[in-house]
Structure 1
Amino acid sequence: MTRPPTIGELHHRLTLERPERTPDDAGGATVSWVTVADVWAAIAPASATETDIAGRLDGIVTHRVTLRRRADLVGGMRFVAGTRVLKILVAHDPDARGRWTECLAEEEHR
């Protein structure tokens, strides 16, 4: 966001999750998602593009997710809202004042 959100704009209830890897017997790992917190956030579309993935045209939609400051937010985590999943690509402090965290997130298809 170019300006800080108003309280009324923080109307999306999201579950913040982090990945947890558990080694399997074959030398790999299984990934499960662990809930970190439920947060209120503002979501705004950032971009939409089309790409060719394995011979199939697919859309990629990114969003800016803004919430109250969280120091524990990093890329690789995700937000979940019902059937929507937003994979966090990057998180930063948009105005360097320690009030907000803004994330660029890509919507995953389930």
Structure 2
Amino acid sequence: MGNALDPGLLNARLVLERPEETPDGQGGVMPGHGAVATVWAFIEPVGAKAGEAAGTLRVAVTHRIRLRWRGDLAGGMRLRKGARLFEIRAFCDPDETGRYLVCDCEEIKP
């Protein structure tokens, strides 16, 4: 797909979420995520890798998600499409023009 992106390809509506903690009522906090914005994106599957952990088979599915540039992306954020969750592992502005971001994500099972 290269660095050029047809804006018409941004056809997946996702919710950008950031980590936040909420009081648990017992003096501690519960980790969670809260919505920051709704964005249009292009989701491109990249690969899948199977591995075994604690006697169970785990499959990691990776995606490249492209969206319009935002200045507020940070570590720990994720994207949601319905029940599907995509942890943002890394992101960059591929042509340094401030038009689009490319996010390398791993789909996680809630």
* 1:4-60 superposed Cα distances (whole Å, 9 cap, x missing partner): 22122100000001010246546x531121110000000101221011111111110
In the other structure, the counterpart of 2:76 is 76
| CA distance in structure 2 between the aligned counterparts of 1:57 and 1:5, rounded to whole angstroms | 36
In the other structure, the counterpart of 2:109 is 109
Q: Which sections of structure 2, spanning at least 5 residues, go unmatched?
A: none
Counterpart of 2:12, as a letter, is H
In the other structure, the counterpart of 1:85 is 85
Detail structure 1 runs of 4+ shifted over 3 Å in the superposition: 22-26
| CA distance in structure 2 between the aligned counterparts of 1:12 and 1:109, rounded to whole angstroms | 19
Pairwise mapping of residues 22-41 of structure 1 onto structure 2 (< 5 A)? 22=22, 25=26, 29-41=29-41
In the other structure, the counterpart of 2:16 is 16
In the other structure, the counterpart of 1:59 is 59
Number of residue pairs matched by the alignment? 109
3-state SS of paired residue (1:71): coil
| CA distance in structure 2 between the aligned counterparts of 1:57 and 1:72, rounded to whole angstroms | 35
3-state SS of paired residue (1:75): coil
* Preserved CA contact (<8 Å) 1:41 1:67: yes
* Preserved CA contact (<8 Å) 1:5 1:42: no
The alignment's TM-score, normalised by the length of structure 2, stands at 0.89
The alignment's TM-score, normalised by the length of structure 1, stands at 0.89
Question: Aligned-pair RMSD on alpha carbons?
Answer: 1.6
Q: Which sections of structure 1, spanning at least 5 residues, go unmatched?
A: none
